[in-house]
Amino acid sequence: MIIVMRHGASEENIEKVVSFVKSKGRDAHLSKGESHTIIGAVGESPVDPRDFELLDGVKEVIKISSSYKLVSHLFKEEDTIIEVNGEKFGGDYAGMIAGPCTIENEDQIEECAEKMAQFGVKIMRGGAFKPRTSPYAFQGLGEEGLKMIRKAADRNHLAVTSEVMEISQIPMFLDYVDILQVGARNMQNFNLLKELSKIDKPVVLKRGLSATINEWLMAAEYILSGGNREVILCERGIRTFEVATRNTLDLCAIPVVKKLSHLPIIVDPSHGTGLRDKVAPMSMASIAAGADGLMIEVHNKPECALCDGAQSLYPEQFAELYKKLKVLAPVVDKKM
């Protein structure tokens, strides 16, 4: 249930509503917008909305049948804008995250970092713990990899995002990265999501391989409900009957999510297509459709990459694409 306060409702009125919500066994989450304060009464205990409508300062009470509340646009009118290292995602902004699939060695990650910085990228990606389909495939360098990417990023004034796979890794990740990434395979690892709800760094939450938009938003709700409001949703393609591409990039998810939620949604066209030559058109299409940013795999030598080389752009290809994206973004009222 969501309680919308009247324009200019007093602090005292707001506090009374909050205590009333709590007295009914629900959590009260406050969202102060430019025109209205909104209070999310989150929980399952039975309440009668009319009891809330009668309180001083209350404009209206909205019963929400969808199970996500805090991620809903009903709870927060303004789009959430997440800023890391000067790069913004959400609202009028489309941000960029780029870098290799995986950290392979010092030279590789340093070269990638230099290129990214040279092209104006502010946030670099790179996996140290890789969720591979085969146990025999390269699993990542682990903590050594995180050290390498942090060093390369610092030298080039970049922020870092990397995928965290399990709860026990969180403290280590907090030491090395600026944004924690939850991969598609862990989107419904609810225990992991609950722990990530307690940290104060942003989380990129990738859409599960076969997750509906509702399930994805519910996963985000886990993170918000524990207190972490900084979630960037990432559409990375879903599994369909089509096999011409690695996944089917669901660009419709962009306008759908933007209507339902205030959270920023970015697109990963690299995993979404699995093929380098499809990355530029799908990046352009994502921004044209209103995406709040992109996550693109770029490798200094894609043909030698230990993971996902075929979908990784050459640095020069990326530079050319980034230039075009910056021309396109203002057409859809976005700054990139």
Quick one: which of 331, 236, 247 has its CA closest to 290? 331
Q: Work out what residue 184 binds among ligand PEP, Mn ion, none; the CB cut-off runs from 5 to 8 Å by kind.
A: ligand PEP
For ligand PEP, the closer of residues 9 and 97 by Cβ is: 97
Closest separation between CB of residue 240 and ligand PEP, Å? 15
b/e map of 211-248 (b: 16 or more CB within 10 Å)?
bebeebbbbbbbbbbeebbbbbbbbbbbeeeeeebbbb
b/e map of 25-48 (b: 16 or more CB within 10 Å)?
ebebbebeeeebbbbbbbbeeebe
Q: How far apart, in whole angstroms, are the C-alpha atoms of residue 272 and residue 282? A: 9
Using the rule CB under 6 A, is 101 a contact of ligand PEP?
yes
3-state secondary structure of 274: coil
Phi, psi dihedrals of residue 63, rounded to the nearest 5°: -85, 130
Using the rule CB under 5 A, is 308 a contact of Mn ion?
yes
Among 29, 271, 299, 334, binds ligand PEP (CB under 6 A): 271
Residues 118-147 interacting with ligand PEP (rule: CB under 6 A) = 127, 131
Using the rule CB under 6 A, is 276 a contact of ligand PEP?
no
Q: Work out what residue 293 binds among ligand PEP, Mn ion, none; the CB cut-off runs from 5 to 8 Å by kind.
A: none
Helices 315-328 and 276-288, axial angle in degrees (round to 10): 20
Upper half-sphere CA count for residue 144 (Cβ side, 13 Å): 6
**Two tokens at 157?**
């004034």
User: How many residues make contact with ligand PEP (CB under 6 A)?
Assistant: 10
Lookup result for tokens 């940013």:
293
Using the rule CB under 5 A, is 1 a contact of Mn ion?
no
For ligand PEP, the closer of residues 217 and 233 by Cβ is: 233
Q: How far apart, in whole angstroms, are the C-alpha atoms of residue 2 and residue 334? A: 30
How does DSSP classify residue 157? Answer: T
Closest separation between CB of residue 301 and ligand PEP, Å? 17
Closest separation between CB of residue 308 and Mn ion, Å? 4
x/- string (CB under 5 A) for Mn ion, residues 66-105? -----------------------------------x----
Residues 167-226 interacting with ligand PEP (rule: CB under 6 A) = 183-185, 206
Q: Work out what residue 183 binds among Mn ion, ligand PEP, none; the CB cut-off runs from 5 to 8 Å by kind.
A: ligand PEP
Residues 95-154 interacting with Mn ion (rule: CB under 5 A) = 101
**Two tokens at 247?**
């996944």
Q: How far apart, in whole angstroms, are the C-alpha atoms of residue 262 and residue 151? A: 34
Name the residues that contact ligand PEP, by CB under 6 A. Answer: 101, 127, 131, 183-185, 206, 236, 268, 271
> Can you give the binding site for Mn ion, defined by CB under 5 A?
101, 308
